[in-house]
Amino acid sequence: MTGLLALWLPILVSAVIVFLVSSIIHMAPLWHKNDYPKVPNEDQVRSAIRPLAIPPGDYMIPRATGGEMRSPEFAEKVKQGPNMILTVLPNTAWNMKKNLTQWLLFTLAVGVFAAYVAGRALPPGSPYLAVFRFVGVTAFIGYSVALWQDSIWYARSWSMTAKSTLDGLIYALLTAGTFGWLWPR
């Protein structure tokens, strides 16, 4: 067993590496450049929705309440469309500082969970590949597996989920490699 405090360095270094690599992946014209296509008639859609002043939040259209889901009226709404899951953002400039800070905290959290799992299973001086295996699987679950339910339940495109899963695999491999390299001897 290896204590969590003994793993502070690989937690911190892996979080910074993943943060930097994820920035490169999302800023370079790689596989994410077409994640969100432009909606047809964007200006008309925006003009139609703007007067509604929908507050920021997540919405489902149409949205059944109570026993309405099995009613013929609700079935007709679904048939007529449009059917969507909508996230409305505030009408302000995006605060990338806030998003990037939260992302860095998330990478640290994944590192802490990976360190906990590997630390419970492995003593100091464990071989690189043993560390790599425990940390890699835990980090992959942290970065990728929870994304799959968005495609299962909310119709997010499987191609976008696959691309995010690839990102998560890269982040997990980097995390595992860092832990293997910096594991206490």
pLDDT value for 77: 94
Task: Kindly indicate the confidence band of residue 69, based on its pLDDT and cuts at 50, 70 and 90.
Answer: confident
Mean pLDDT for 147-156 is 94
User: What are the domain boundaries of the chain?
Assistant: 4-182
Q: Which residues contact 83 (CB under 8 A, 6 or more apart)?
A: 61, 62
Q: Are 179 and 116 in contact (CB under 8 A)?
A: no
155 is written with which tokens? Answer: 């119709």
Core vs surface per residue 120-154: b (16+ CB within 10 A) or e: ebbeeebeeeebbbbbbebbbbbbbeebeebbeee
> Helices (H) and strands (E) in the chain — how many of each?
7, 2
Task: Kindly indicate the confidence band of residue 67, based on its pLDDT and cuts at 50, 70 and 90.
Answer: confident
pTM assigned to the model: 0.90
pLDDT digits (tens, 9 = 90+) for 70-127: 899 999 999 999 999 999 999 998 889 999 999 999 999 999 999 999 999 999 999 9
In the chain, the amino acid numbered 175 is T
Mean pLDDT for 32-41 is 89
Question: What CA–CA distances, in Å, run from 170 to 103, 116, 135, 164, 176?
Answer: 16, 20, 13, 10, 10
- Backbone phi, psi, residue 87, to 5°: -110, 120
Mean pLDDT for 38-53 is 94
